[in-house]
Structures are given as C-alpha cells and as structure tokens.
Amino acid sequence: MRSTAALFALSALVSSALGATYPVKDKFVGQDFLTGFTHETLADPTHGRVTYVDQATALAQNLSFASDTSFVMRADSFSVLDPSGPGRSAVRIKSNNAYSTHVTVFDIRHMPQGCGTWPAAWEVNEENWPGQGEVDILEGTNDIEPNQSTLHTSPNCAQPAAGRAMTGNPVTNNCDSNADGNAGCGVQATAPNSYGKSFNAAGGGFYAMERTTSFIKVWFWSRNDPAVPADVKTAGASVNTDAWGTPSALFVPDTCDIPSHFGAHNIIINLTFCGDWAGLPQFFNQLGGCPGDCATFVNQNPSAFNDAFWDIAGVHVYA
C-alpha cells in the first residue's frame, strides 16, 4: 500500500508538472462578483481623475449591477465635476482570493470605451508592488487599438526583443518598474478587435492568462472567432491550455526568473480616467484624437461616458 501510494503521488506530481490541464477553482458569474470581489476605495495609484466608490454606493447609484448572467460596472455619466473636487465616480474590484500557478479566463461582452478612459483587467499583489510583480492582461487608453499585455516587476527582469512563439509584437522589453517610466515589458496584439470600440462592436470576446513558474501566456479570441476553444467558450470543469494554440503574448524566463519576481496575485478589474498614461497629450490628443486636455474633458462631458462600462459574463480561475 505504501509503495502504491507513493507511486500514485509521484505520478500525480509528474502529471501536474508536465500537463496543461487545470481543474476549475473559482467561478464568478453575476452575483458572485458581489461576494467574491471587493469594491476598492483606494486613491488611484495611477493618479487618474477618478473616485472609486464602495459596493453600497456603487449599487445605490447603479454603477455596479449584477444579474444571473452578467456583472456590469460603469462610470458616472451624469455629473459635471468641479475641477477642484473629487474625480469621476467609477468602480474598481479586487478578488478576495489570490492565485499563483493558474489560468484565468475572462468572458467580456463589453469594455469601457471613450476619450479619457483607461480600463484594465489585470493581476497583482497590491501590498507588495512591484516586488511580487504585475500582469496586465487587457489594458489600453482612449480607444487606441489594439490591446497591450504587459508585465511590471522589480529589477532584473526583461524579455527578448525577438524569437518568442507568439502572435503579438513586443513594444517594450524591460519589465523593471523603475526603468523607462514604468513602461514595463509589453506585447501588442495584432487583432484590432482586441480592444475598445472594435472589441465592443464584435460583441466582446475572451481573454485567458496562464501563469506557471516557467512562463506567462495571454490569449485573445473575439466573440465569434471559430477558433475559440470549447473549454473557454463554455467555461467547463477544466481547461487544457495545450489545445489553445499560439498565444497573443508570451513572457519567458530567459532573462527573468519568474518565481522570484511574481507572487500570489489578486484579480483586479477597473476603470480610471486620464492619469499617468491616458492623460498624456501623446495618447490623449495625438494617438487618441481627443480634444483639449484630459482632466477638463472628463470634468465637463458626463455623457461622453455613456459607453464607459464593463459587461462581464464571467471570470473563471483554474488551478
């Protein structure tokens, strides 16, 4: 019995190490977001023109809404703001559970769009940043397509400029948050409908991130892409990432020891405005085609944020 048990344990260990099949650990659909996530009210670390509201306020003002099949989180689209007062109300949620080696699958019907917006779906340890790393899965500003997936870390982590097995294009390669204005090491997707207005026009889509001690991968499939894997589309009891094809972004350990740069992460989904990225004239005016300065636009144009909302069909974590 002892040798059989030991053999079984060894077999399970080898299977876990070599396989790419993960059982479901947590699933969040509709009302689950109100119990499995916390509405954060911290001051925006990216210095955005935003005020994050708590869950009670978000529900009372219809900034958060949960049905059986959907969770919506939106911006205030009715208030003209005092330039010297608080920023535009919006929602930032953080998972109560944290994850290390795992897969996260996001089924998103609609993401925030419009001038001044900076939406993101990402994972991080807020209490030890950048020491435990950050993985930005879906992120961008001012409707500038396509999506960019990025790592931010402590020093001594970088990515090769070429040679990675991915469909995306590397745009920055030093992951160190102390370098290059915290640009991180980013990979830009090649599908225009991976972000913003084009993403929404296609009915949204699916993002997935796999993190191991050896690599981090990000995939994207538009809603009606025939290549969407069945276990992604149906969010079943397990996923097999080996069957998902070439990722949009691949981060490798060649010049970045992943275990020492990434710890247990919470999932965060948020929307901010302007700030350290979206508010820069290069991105707000030149690339985003938005008028004036970002803060003034956000203050004076509440109706511009009618489409600044997330509609999330589900988030599933496999580990």
Confidence of residue 101 (pLDDT cuts 50, 70, 90): very high
314: Cβ–Cβ under 8 A, 6 or more apart, which residues?
27, 28, 29, 105, 106, 107, 235
Between the CA of residue 285 and those of 13, 50, 111, what are the distances in Å? 53, 20, 21
Residue 218 lies in a domain: yes
pLDDT of residue 236: 87
Nearest to 269 by CA among 77, 132, 114, 74: 74
Is residue 18 over pLDDT 80?
Answer: no
Nearest to 177 by CA among 199, 148, 157, 205: 157
Q: Is the peptide bond before 130 cis (omega within 30 degrees of 0)?
A: yes
pLDDT of residue 295: 98
The better pLDDT of the pair 218, 7 is held by 218
Domain extent, residue 41, equals 22-318
Give the SS3 label for residue 267: strand
Q: Is the peptide bond before 146 cis (omega within 30 degrees of 0)?
A: yes
CA distance 271 to 116: 10
Residue 14 lies in a domain: no
Residue 164 lies in a domain: yes
Q: Mean per-residue pLDDT for 240-252? A: 97
Residue 8 lies in a domain: no
Residue 46 lies in a domain: yes
Residue 12 lies in a domain: no
Q: Mean per-residue pLDDT for 53-79? A: 98
Tokens in use for 178? 């102390």
Is residue 54 over pLDDT 60?
Answer: yes
Residue 114 lies in a domain: yes
Residue 267 lies in a domain: yes
Total of domains in the chain: 1
Hey, which residues are catalytic here?
Answer: 134, 139
Using alpha carbons only, give the angle 186, 44, 144 rounded to the nearest 5 degrees.
40
Nearest to 145 by CA among 107, 175, 111, 180: 111
CA distance 86 to 84: 7
pLDDT of residue 185: 98
How many CA atoms does the CB half-sphere of 111 hold within 13 Å? 35
Q: Which CATH number fits the domain that encloses residue 98? A: 2.60.120.200
Pick the range with the lowest mean pLDDT from 57-61, 234-238, 247-251: 234-238
